[in-house]
Structure 1
Amino acid sequence: MDKRFCYPSIHTFNLTKLASAGLAVFVTLSSTLGANALDPFRTTQPRNIGDNTEAAFKAIFLQGDYQAADRFLQKAIATEPSEPLAYAMKASLAYTNNDIAGLDTYSQKTLETAQKLISTDALRGNLYAAVGEFLGGAVILTRQGTVNGAPAALSRLRKVYDLLDKAEKISPQDPELNLLKGYMDLMLAVNLPFADPSQAIQRLEKNAAPQYLADRGIAIAYRDLKQYDKGLQYADRALKGTPDNPEVQYLKAQILRAKANKDKNPTMMREAVSMFDKALTRKSQLPSGLVKQIERERRNADSSVANLGK
């Protein structure tokens, strides 16, 4: 974003939400690929991120298959040790499994690997150094709590944006940069008062890639902003690129449920239940905690059908 946030004004509640939302960014991030199969972001000046890192990326973001992604990431760490994206995805998977030690280990590896990359690829080196700093801040908040950990976490957040600024000066229209920064700016805008998400949405729409991930990020933002018609529009766009991804199906189900509650529409609520069920047909691919969450929201949606329209 062009406008900066005043860090001391961030309330501890918002900081907690921001940490959770930001980690979701890197889970959501960390066929539709570009011309070079080993770079899912760029069609020009592609980087070779490695076979196993690329396979893990596809497993998570195209297929929503966390189990396959973890297997590919184990191979990537052994065979592609200089690729920071592999460690960032591994850190995010650790978070989804409530493995704080793993989150700590792989956030540090993301940062260390990115710092080494700066000398040969300053754009991606600074970008993933920012990711590593952010993940490190999440470790602090998780271990120390919001009140005790807030000062150190906010210091990390300043470093994150300093590093993103360095990357942006190198290549302001880079798709990978705009995807990650666009997601982060959206999470900040949604979770902080008086923030404007329009610039972040424009960043994702114009310069981010792959498109299905940009569309997914915008759908999440509109869901959280309670602009459900726009949220459904972008969720449908994301589903065109990843029609079998259970996480995107789940996202659409959430938006349908919220809109059905708002409009008192039992027919739409039944559609939401059907979409929750569709996501759950691939529950073996997902982390157990996420499956329980989808099942709980599905039950709540189903039980509310009879009360709508009265």
Structure 2
Amino acid sequence: MTRNFSSSHLILSRLTRLAQASFGAAMGYAPPLAIALTLVAINPSWAGDPFRSQGQARQIGDKTEAAFKAVFQQGDYPAAERYLSQAISSESDEPLAYAMKASLSYINKDLGGLDNYSRRTLEAGQKLVKTDELRGNIYTAVGHFLEGAAIITREGTLRGASQALSRLRLVYEYLDKAEAISPRDPELNLLRGYMDLMLSVSLPFANPDEAINRLRTNAAPEYLTNRGIAVAYRDLKQYPQALDYANRAIKAATDNPELYYLKAQILKEQGRREKSQQLIREAIANFDKALTKRSQLPKSLVQQIESERNGAVNSLNQ
């Protein structure tokens, strides 16, 4: 995807949202970077890498992987917090743990935590370059990305624009280094696909097809890639395609309430476009299904789901 940095204000206004998308913070459909594949349970010798199959798997760490699974397979944020506390103690060299912790700090409006864990993500990524150049470069990029999001959160878009834009340039510099090492790596393509999608649906000159294709062909795990594609089609107002990919994601991660929230959003907008009360009723049913697990979701997300559900109910009465 061509990146036009003269559109810095448009890009920077999305930095925090991009951070959420990339690490599953609270996209309202979150996203989004942490899932355990079924093959991990089948072959525990490779536990700890939710992205790659046996031949390419890294020892990311069992606690980090468990936190990853808690967020993206189960949508259970309290469990993820518990696992991450353990991961940071026992798997202190793993940058993904710090990246997820930074993302959760953002959800909890903990700016100190966001600053701390963004910095630690960057430090761990830089250290990892010495032993795993691919993942080291990925998480050096992630660290710069999170620090850019922290700057925007702390300073605001206008005041923080210059610093954050320099971070964004570093993000793509290190992602390019990682891509030169392994252009088809699933972890790299999952992260980059989500980031490029968020930019592409926000900028008038960008085409999201390349990002969608990146997720579809080279990223993993599948239910996170399908989720990202569903979000992209939703934002592009291509609702039948969005619903198809949301259902694919649900099929692979049936316990995650955020996927039913995403499906509800799609059905609600499709129902409004088609003036279909039946689709809006289906949307309400999916909002309700998401809310059955409200105790494991962030309060702010529960409030957002309830608000959107009420909007759907009100539209039936108009």
Provide the TM-score with structure 1 as the length reference: 0.95
- The answer to whether the 8 A contact 2:21-2:194 is kept is no
Pairwise CA distance, 1:10: 3.0
1:211 and 1:259 map into 2 onto residues whose CA distance is 24
1:270 and 1:228 map into 2 onto residues whose CA distance is 16
Q: Does 1:15 align with 2:7?
A: no
Deviation >6 Å, runs of 4+: none
Could you list the per-position Cα deviations for residues 163-222 of structure 1 after superposition, in whole angstroms to 9, with x for gaps in the alignment? 000000001111111111111111110111210010111111111010000000000111
Instruction: Indicate the residue corresponding to 1:6 in structure 2.
Output: 4
Pairwise CA distance, 1:126: 0.4
Which letter does structure 2 place at the counterpart of 1:32? L
1:33-182 paired onto structure 2 within 5 Å: 33-35=38-40, 36-43=46-53, 44-182=55-193
Pairwise CA distance, 1:20: 1.4
Structure 2: gaps spanning 5 or more residues? 25-31, 41-45
Which letter does structure 2 place at the counterpart of 1:7? F
Which stretch shows the higher mean deviation, 94-103 or 63-72? 94-103
SS at match of 1:191: coil
Could you list the per-position Cα deviations for residues 276-303 of structure 1 after superposition, in whole angstroms to 9, with x for gaps in the alignment? 0000000000011101000111111111
- The answer to whether the 8 A contact 1:33-1:210 is kept is no
Which of 197, 216, 224 aligns to 1:213? It is: 224
SS at match of 1:193: coil
Which stretch shows the higher mean deviation, 278-287 or 34-43? 34-43
Could you list the per-position Cα deviations for residues 251-272 of structure 1 after superposition, in whole angstroms to 9, with x for gaps in the alignment? 1101111111111111110100
Which of 284, 287, 295 aligns to 1:273? It is: 284
1:243-254 paired onto structure 2 within 5 Å: 243-254=254-265
- The answer to whether the 8 A contact 1:204-1:214 is kept is yes
Q: Alignment length, in residue pairs?
A: 304
2:85 and 2:38 map into 1 onto residues whose CA distance is 22
Structure 1: gaps spanning 5 or more residues? none
- The answer to whether the 8 A contact 1:22-1:187 is kept is no
- The answer to whether the 8 A contact 1:18-1:188 is kept is no
SS at match of 1:40: coil
Instruction: Indicate the residue corresponding to 1:222 in structure 2.
Output: 233
Pairwise CA distance, 1:17: 2.9
Q: Does 1:231 align with 2:242?
A: yes
Identity %: 60
Which stretch shows the higher mean deviation, 206-215 or 27-36? 27-36
Q: Does 1:261 align with 2:265?
A: no
Pairwise CA distance, 1:143: 1.0
SS at match of 2:240: helix
- The answer to whether the 8 A contact 2:14-2:199 is kept is no
Instruction: Indicate the residue corresponding to 2:43 in structure 1.
Output: none
Could you list the per-position Cα deviations for residues 35-79 of structure 1 after superposition, in whole angstroms to 9, with x for gaps in the alignment? 522211000221111111011011001000000000000000000
1:21 and 1:123 map into 2 onto residues whose CA distance is 22
Please tell me the root mean square deviation across aligned C-alpha atoms, in Å: 1.2
Provide the TM-score with structure 2 as the length reference: 0.93
